[in-house]
Structure 1
């Protein structure tokens, strides 16, 4: 059995990705931040479908904790799957914040850096010795990095995701010597809890977003999770260094 690590899997795209990966016969180590109950619910959902999952706490904005997390993962791999390596990594954990450039604080900017760019960089670095040759990484980016159709307020968030896009290509280049593929997915508007449950709090935005989407609706987490699981699988064995927009044709 192959094993995947999925960060930020207590809800939304991370939860969907973890469940889809498990459906394909893989074990899953999933992480949660503040939402411990959500992480446990994701693990329970996987186990109800006959899979195996372990939920662990992780703050991807605290890189000083990554060495301890790696040690915990080592123990979990040995105890649960009787192995000392894993195969797939999904760098998904994150948060969204919108503010105009003139209103953005350095504190907000620095937290976005830590969670969206520094976190995936150094977490991958720490976990890489445990990853098998021929494995795969998927980074969750965003279509806010597009060169057209920009929405005011995403300057800091999109800048970090743009950095992640570049990092994805460099990871693909450097890890290719071990046969490890690295890709990114760029979701469009997706019905998740991001932005403090913005879709629940502001349901009136949904029709406008759907109207700008070629396929006529906003995305669901399952739309993105299925692509992530496919990119990890052997079906995508000849795909690396790609950033695949999964948006239903937003702004097409």
Structure 2
């Protein structure tokens, strides 16, 4: 049995990725931030379908906690699956904040940097000794990095996700000596709780986003989770260093 670590799996894309990986037979160590109840719900959903999952807390914005998190992962691997390594890492946990350049504060900029770029970078570094040779890493990026359809207010967010795209290629090169593949999925507008559940608070924006999407609707978490699970699986054994857009043709 393969084992996956999925960050930010208390809801949305992370929950969907965890479920899709479990349906493919993987055990799942999933993380939650402030939404502990959501983490427990994801575990329950996986167990209801006959899978095995464990939820652990993780503050992706505080790299000082990563050593303790790695130790918790090692403990869970041994206690739950009798293993010392895991096979798939999904760096999905994130945060969002929109502001034009002239109103962006250093505090908000630094928070985005810690969660979206520094967090995945150093969490991957800490977990590498536990990631099995021949394993796979999938980052969650964003279509906000595309050179077309640039949206005002997303300069900092898009810059961090652009860094993730570059990081994906660099990690793919470095980790190839161990047979570890590294890819990223770039979602378009997707119905998640990101941005303080923005789509629930501002449903009037959905129609316009759907109109700009070739397939005519807003993305759903399962649209992205299935792609993440596919990239992490052996079906994608010859794919590495790629940023795969899963947006339904947003701004096409």
Q: TM-score range by the shorter chain?
A: over 0.9
State the alpha-carbon separation in 1 of the partners of residues 241 and 31 from structure 2: 25
The residue that corresponds to 1:248 in the other structure is 248
SS in 2 for 1:249: coil
* Equivalences for residues 14-53 of structure 1 within 5 A: 14-53=14-53
In the aligned structure 1, how far is the partner of 2:193 from the partner of 2:73? 27
Equivalence for 2:60: 60
Matching residue of 1:143: 143
Q: CA deviation at 1:148?
A: 1.1
Q: Distance in 1 between matches of 2:118 and 2:192?
A: 23
**Aligned ranges for residues 79-158 of structure 1 at < 5 Å?**
79-158=79-158
Which whole-Å CA distance do the structure 1 matches of 2:17 and 2:174 have between them?
A: 25
Cα distance per residue 1:119-147 (max 9 Å; x no partner): 00000000000010000000000000011
Tell me the TM-score normalized by structure 1: 1.00
Tell me which residue corresponds to 2:6: 6
Specify the alignment match of 2:177 in structure 1. 177
Query: Which 5+ residue runs of structure 1 have no aligned equivalent?
Result: none
Q: Say which SS state the counterpart of residue 204 (structure 1) adopts.
A: helix
Q: Take 1:103 and 1:10, find their aligned partners in 2: how far apart are those partners? A: 31
Unmatched tracts of structure 2, length 5 or more: none
Number of aligned residue pairs = 252
Matches within 5 A, 1:151-230: 151-230=151-230
Q: Which stretches of structure 1, 4 residues or longer, exceed 6 Å deviation after superposition? A: none
